[in-house]
Amino acid sequence: MADKVIFAMYDDDDKLMDGAKHLVANKVKVSDVYSPMPLHGIDSIIGVEPTRLAITAFMYGLTGTMLAIIGIRYMMIIDWPMNIGGKPNFSLKENMLSFVPIFFEFTVLCAAHGMAITYLIRNKTLPGMPPRNPDPRTTDDKFVMEIKTSDNAHVSEKDLSKLIKDTGFIEIEEKSIL
């Protein structure tokens, strides 16, 4: 049998959630869900792994702190120590306190922008990218479940369509993958 993608559309998030639970309980793999808003709890039902973006934010932040320390040390201590009211200008440690605000700001700057850029790239959302939602109504009030037959070779086609039918969709669409 040719590989197919089945898009089942629901008019309510509860129906989709219950339907997904029903399918997963019967060993059907739901490959994705398209919704107009975040559905809390769907990740654990269909097995979406938790994102690691927060870890990247931490690493970008750490990079920012290091860059700020290295940069300020070079500019203020090594390259051109300035005499400001006769305060010690030869050691980073003794000037550290007045450098803290910029360490902090630069850490936040790097963490926030680094994470945001990673987020956009990982989501494939960049200016000019084409939208890939199966139906324009999924950004309004409809919810779509995507099931690939290639993921569900262990379920017979008949069983699969019966199981999907039980979930109470409002529309269904099948597309074959070339």
Partner 1 sequence: MHKESDIRLPLILGDKSYKDITDDVIRPIEANPPKTWYLLLMISVVIALWGIGCIVYLLGTGVGVWGLNKTVGWAWDITNFVWWVGIGHAGTLISAVLLLFRQKWRFAINRAAEAMTIFAVMMAGLFPLIHMGRLWLGYWVFPLPNQFGSLWVNFNSPLLWDVFAISTYFSVSLVFWYIGLIPDFATIRDRVTKPIFKKVYRVLSFGWTGDAKAWNRFEQVSLVLAGLATPLVFSVHSIVSFDFATSVIPGWHTTIFPPYFVSGAVFSGFAMVQTLMLILRKAYKLEAYLHVKHIEYMNIVIIVTGSIVGVAYITELFVSWYSGVEYESYAFLNRATGPYWWSYWAMMTCNVISPQLFWFKKLRTSLMFSFFMSIIINIGMWFERFVIIVTSLHRDYVPSSWTYFHPTWVDIGVYMGTLGIFFVLYLLFSRYFPVLPIAELKTILKSSGKNYKEDYGKGKGYWDKRSAH
Q: Which position among 129, 153, 170, 177 is part of the footprint of partner 1 (CB under 8 A)?
A: 129
User: What are the E-state strand segments in the chain?
Assistant: 4-10, 32-34, 143-148, 171-176
Residue 172 is which amino acid? I
The nearer residue to partner 1, 51 or 150, going by C-beta atoms, is 51
Q: Which position among 116, 153, 170, 177 is part of the footprint of partner 1 (CB under 8 A)?
A: 116
The nearer residue to partner 1, 15 or 159, going by C-beta atoms, is 15
Burial 120-159 (b: 16+ CB within 10 A, else e): eeeeeeeeeeeeeeeeebbeeebbbbbbbbeebeebeeee
Contact call for residues 3 and 149 (beta carbons, < 8 A): yes
Can you tell me the distance from the alpha carbon of 93 to that of 91, in angstroms, rounded to the nearest whole number?
5
Q: Which position among 67, 69, 112, 172 is part of the footprint of partner 1 (CB under 8 A)?
A: 112
Q: Per CB under 8 A, which region of 1-9, 37-45, 149-157, 158-166 contacts partner 1?
A: 37-45
Contact call for residues 75 and 89 (beta carbons, < 8 A): no
Residue 82 is which amino acid? M
Kindly identify the residues of this chain, within the stretch 69-98, that bind partner 1 according to CB under 8 A: 71-72, 75-76, 79-80, 82, 84, 87, 95, 98
Is 130 a binder of partner 1 (CB under 8 A)?
yes
Q: Is 25 exposed, middle or buried (0-12, 13-18, 19+ CB in 10 A)?
A: exposed
Q: Which position among 3, 25, 27, 51 is part of the footprint of partner 1 (CB under 8 A)?
A: 51
Which residue ranges make up the site for partner 1 (CB under 8 A)?
A: 13-14, 18, 32-43, 46, 48, 50-51, 53-54, 57, 61, 71-72, 75-76, 79-80, 82, 84, 87, 95, 98-99, 101-102, 104-106, 108-109, 111-113, 115-116, 119-120, 122-133, 136-141
